Amino acid sequence: MEPGGFCAPGDLVSASKSSLAALTLGAIGVVYGDIGTSVLYAMKEVFGSGHVPFTPDNVYGILSIFFWTLTVIVSIKYVVLVLRADNHGEGGLVAMLALASQSVKHRPELRRVLLIIGIFGTCLFYGDGVITPAISVLSAVEGLEVISPAFKRYVIPITLVILFGLFAVQKRGTTGIGKFFGPITVVWFAVLAVLGVSHIVDHPEILWAISPHYALGFMWNNPGTTFIILGAVVLCVTGAEALYADLGHFGKKPVRLAWFSVVMPALVINYFGQGALLLANPAAVKNPFFMMAPDWALLPLVGLATMATVIASQALISGAFSVTKQVIQLGYLPRLQIEHTSVKDTGQIYMPFVNWGLFVAIVLAVVMFKSSSNLAAAYGIAVCTDMLITTILTFYVIRHGWKYPLWLCIAATGFFFIVDFAFWASNLLKLFDGGWFPLAIGGAVFTLMMTWKDGRRLLNDKLRADALDLPSFLEAVFVSPPARVEGTAVFLTSEMGTVPNALLHNLKHNKVLHTSNLFVTVKNHEVPWIGLDKRLQIDSLGHDCWQVVIHYGFKNDPDVPKALEQIKGRGCDLEPMSTSYFLSRDTVVPTLGEGMAPWREKLFAQMHHNASAAADFLNLPNNSVVELGSKIEI
């Protein structure tokens, strides 16, 4: 347990019975699936772009750039530096955003800007979530074209069938198939290494490309070309954000051990094997990965590659569910239906709307772009923007949160900012070739998130302006008290200390008050976890009425009945069979005047109308919920 009652999953992980080897195996399967499949298309796109003349010197130069890109961005930036910036054991852009936000809470304007930047980066995750499964599975199935050109017309249909199957099984949860992720991915990385070694032995001199002078020489002699191809080179580090996002599942040590002992060596060996193959057979540039394999191994390799890409896609889909849930609890999206797919692991969830929304967008991407090469043009902008945002937020965390000297913070993040910015600027060249697609998805999600956040602020301002003070209201009520009925009434209210509309309607229409009355406000905080010792805050209002505040982190699962069990022995004992939960079901009516633009107010009203029931989100028992409606103009 962290000081102050914040429970860090990293502590739970280290205390669990799972051995370091098991956690490392799991990290290989879940964390590195995406970056592990980049070998399918990264080298092909660099030389297939037509910008790099095919010469032995250029092969050495490109391989050197690949090696040092993996070293600088993944090994040093993410594995060494960014993994240190955990938010009570949790990682990912949402956790980093919360950490940066807390670090500058004494500077509200800066905090507001960082929140907007971080939320935009989170929105781009959905753009990445569409492109990654599409390009990964498509590039694996395209291996069939190497076996025979006759298979070309079947590539897209087979890809869509595989993707449909993947999304269809999401509602069953990942517990059953998750145990196979690690071993299959380990086999995948072993095959990558074997394929690489089989060609490196024919041209061992290719290993000299590890020397940075080949990369620097290529960049010095071809500055314009280097800038252009960075948009393709970045494909070798796609998935780097995942190792930070999945920190809370495995802990720092297994993630680092998996990278340095298995993943990076296998990737480097495979890329260098592709380079050796190109030196021996320049014609292999059309698909160097699959042409590394002997003819007899092609079909099994396509099957293994397809499984590896499905696993990589699965990790991203699960990440989309997790990120959406966190964003909902931070107040940037309306409540959505959430189904728990595991009794033991509360982190395993399924969100039907997110699942099928992603599937439709992915099908659109596959049908529109038709090949992994075309999708590669769309890939990169979202990833590089997220990398850039992570670097910016890291600066504020280590400067204002950790109080490091300014010169050290600039030195630590300035270099990575320059590198990230170079990749980002290069990817802008692909904007009109497909880069607009993930940006359009991210922009649409950003519009929804900011509309919801601003709409909720307007709605709460309106409720606050019209609200009555709860203690004063109760004093007035109990001057001539209404009839009281047996049982406990729990009134859910968004604003602490104000009279909920449900109470007003109950007194107006039913003219009764329960024996015990709880006025409950649920507060979500910018930390991942809040421990049970900090969960509940209760104050007596007299007349058997209590004000209760329930605190949750953005990774906690809200469960109001379970939280209210803690008030036993504090003056009010809840009996489930005699407890009723009263909610106000507000209908938003857009009006002209101050506030948001009319179209945004209409959009917010529609989002508010379609939000899943608060009762389900707060895990209230369905047979004990009473909803009383009212109209509110904004």
**What is the mean predicted confidence (pLDDT) over 162-168?**
91
Inter-residue contact 547 to 519 (CB < 8 Å) = yes
d(CA 545, CA 538): 10
pLDDT of residue 209: 93
Q: Kindly tell me if the per-residue pLDDT of 474 is higher than 50.
A: yes
Domains and CATH numbers, the chain: 20-49+66-189+223-270+281-438 (1.20.1740.10), 467-633 (no CATH)
Sheet holding 545-553, edge to edge: 536-542, 545-553, 512-525, 483-492, 579-589, 625-633
For the stretch 512-549, pLDDT in tens is 888 889 999 999 887 878 888 888 888 888 888 999 99
d(CA 45, CA 537): 57
Block residue for tokens 């074209």: 145
Question: φ and ψ at 554, to 5 degrees?
Answer: -75, -5
For the stretch 20-57, pLDDT in tens is 888 888 788 878 888 898 999 889 888 877 778 888 89
For the stretch 90-99, pLDDT in tens is 778 888 888 8
Inter-residue contact 211 to 64 (CB < 8 Å) = yes
**What is the mean predicted confidence (pLDDT) over 178-182?**
70
pLDDT of residue 176: 53
d(CA 370, CA 379): 14
**What is the mean predicted confidence (pLDDT) over 587-602?**
81
For the stretch 484-521, pLDDT in tens is 888 899 998 888 888 888 888 888 887 888 888 999 99
For the stretch 275-334, pLDDT in tens is 999 999 988 888 899 999 998 999 999 999 999 988 888 878 888 888 888 888 888 999
Inter-residue contact 292 to 195 (CB < 8 Å) = yes
Identity at 304, one-letter amino acid code = L
Identity at 179, one-letter amino acid code = K
Nearest by Cα to 232 from 504, 56, 423, 413? 423
d(CA 160, CA 220): 43
Q: Look at the pTM and tell me if it is higher than 0.85.
A: no
The H or E element that residue 627 is part of is: strand 625-633
Identity at 532, one-letter amino acid code = L
d(CA 623, CA 108): 43
**What is the mean predicted confidence (pLDDT) over 255-263?**
92
Identity at 27, one-letter amino acid code = A
- Give the number of other Cβ atoms within 10 Å of residue 108's Cβ: 9
Which pair of structure tokens corresponds to residue 163? 């993707």
Nearest by Cα to 133 from 315, 368, 346? 315
What end-to-end distance do the CA atoms of the chain give, in Å?
A: 43
- Give the number of other Cβ atoms within 10 Å of residue 557's Cβ: 15
pLDDT of residue 634: 72
Question: φ and ψ at 58, to 5 degrees?
Answer: -70, -35
Inter-residue contact 39 to 235 (CB < 8 Å) = no
Identity at 25, one-letter amino acid code = L
The average confidence (pLDDT) of the chain is 85
pLDDT of residue 414: 93
